[in-house]
């Protein structure tokens, strides 16, 4: 064979070699691309899942914190009411400081609740929080008014208007006791009874009865036959007693009104607290449902990506199997001596 015959054979061999190399390189690239796409897809889904799950978990944590703080607020409000009632019942000054401490804690807790609600993705209206804050401020003012009036009356029997009333009646009784005037003594005892009835029951009727007895006393004093100087002393003592009782009566009536207003304000804040509790519970439920939904979506996304990658791998594997099968058949034909067969890819 001369050189001219060998040249086409060499060229054909080189061409076949390059085509085989091209086929092999293409196969490797396709396999690599399939692997990279698989890993990238799963990785992207996992990263997205972690991001959304972290957001859902953060919202759930805020909802749980809100729920706990609202529960503490409601418990603290009930405790404040109990301490206020204890003060009105026992008039212990220590309850005032305790009540103020509780109210300050409530306002601090409400500020924290407002901060948590502003961070919410739901964008809930904060009007109910503002109304509750206003209600707590009015509640504190009403209680402070009660404390101020009770201190005017006297936390103890010897203090305030109650102490002055006690001293005035003791002085009047002492001046009457020095003289034996049954009618005046009887009227004095009736006035004391009306005084005690008013302190116990607080009705205006007892104040009117007191005034009527005081007028009867004033009319009976000149008819008692006592010396004018003694009558002047008794009259001065009775006026002091009457004035002390009038001041006590007015302040006690105002205190009773404040106590009634305080009870109304306390009950008026309850619906706002109940609504806040419901809002916290609803938000906690929604946050839990959202977290579960995110986890379910990510599970389905991973399952779908895995299925798709499996499908692509199956299709790609089928193509490879078909190519190998075609090559096998061609090689079998060549082995049988059929040189007209064209190898796949050549």
Summarize pLDDT for 98-144 with one digit per residue, the tens: 999 999 999 998 888 888 777 664 555 455 667 888 889 999 999 99
> Which stretches of the chain are assigned E, i.e. beta strand?
none
Summarize pLDDT for 26-85 with one digit per residue, the tens: 556 666 776 777 777 777 777 777 777 677 777 777 777 888 888 899 999 999 999 999
Give domain limits for the chain.
45-154+258-296, 160-255
* Fold of the CATH domain 45-154+258-296: de novo design (two linked rop proteins) (1.20.1440)
Do residues 69 and 110 make contact, with C-beta atoms less than 8 angstroms apart?
A: no
CB atoms closer than 10 angstroms to residue 229: 8
Under DSSP, the state recorded for 228 is H
pTM: 0.67
- 126 vs 279: CA distance, rounded Å: 11
- 39 vs 176: CA distance, rounded Å: 107
Query: What size, in residues, is the chain?
Result: 346
Hey, what's the torsion of the CAs at 180, 184, 189, 191, to 10 degrees? -160
């Amino acid at each position: 064979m001369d050189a001219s015959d060998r040249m086409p054979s060499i060229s054909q061999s080189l061409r076949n070699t390059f085509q085989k190399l091209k086929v092999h390189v293409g196969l490797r690239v396709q396999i690599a691309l399939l692997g990279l796409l698989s890993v990238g897809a799963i990785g992207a889904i996992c990263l997205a899942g972690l991001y959304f799950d972290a957001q859902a978990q953060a919202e759930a944590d805020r909802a749980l914190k809100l729920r706990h703080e609202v529960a503490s607020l409601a418990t603290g409000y009930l405790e404040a009411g109990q301490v206020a009632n204890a003060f009105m019942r026992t008039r212990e000054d220590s309850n005032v400081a305790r009540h103020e401490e509780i109210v300050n804690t409530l306002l601090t807790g409400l500020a924290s609740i407002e901060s948590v609600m502003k961070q919410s993705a739901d964008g809930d209206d904060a009007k109910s929080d503002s109304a509750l804050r206003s209600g707590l401020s009015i509640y504190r003012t009403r209680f402070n008014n009660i404390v101020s009036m009770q201190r005017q009356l006297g936390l103890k029997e010897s203090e305030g208007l109650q102490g002055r009333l006690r001293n005035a009646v003791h002085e009047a009784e002492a001046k009457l006791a020095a003289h034996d005037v049954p009618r005046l003594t009887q009227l004095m005892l009736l006035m004391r009874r009306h005084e005690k009835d008013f302190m116990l029951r607080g009705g205006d009727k007892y104040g009117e009865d007191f005034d009527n007895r005081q007028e009867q006393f004033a009319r009976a004093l000149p008819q008692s036959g006592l010396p004018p100087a003694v009558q002047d002393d008794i009259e001065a003592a009775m006026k002091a007693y009457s004035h002390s009782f009038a001041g006590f009566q007015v302040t006690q009536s105002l205190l009773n009104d404040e106590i009634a207003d305080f009870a109304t304000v306390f009950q008026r804040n309850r619906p706002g607290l109940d609504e806040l509790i419901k809002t916290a519970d609803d938000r906690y439920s929604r946050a839990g449902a959202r977290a579960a939904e995110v986890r379910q979506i990510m599970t389905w996304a991973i399952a779908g990506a895995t299925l798709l990658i499996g499908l692509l791998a199956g299709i790609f594997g089928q193509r490879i199997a078909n190519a190998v099968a075609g090559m096998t058949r061609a090689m079998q034909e060549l082995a049988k001596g059929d040189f007209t067969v064209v190898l796949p890819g050549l």
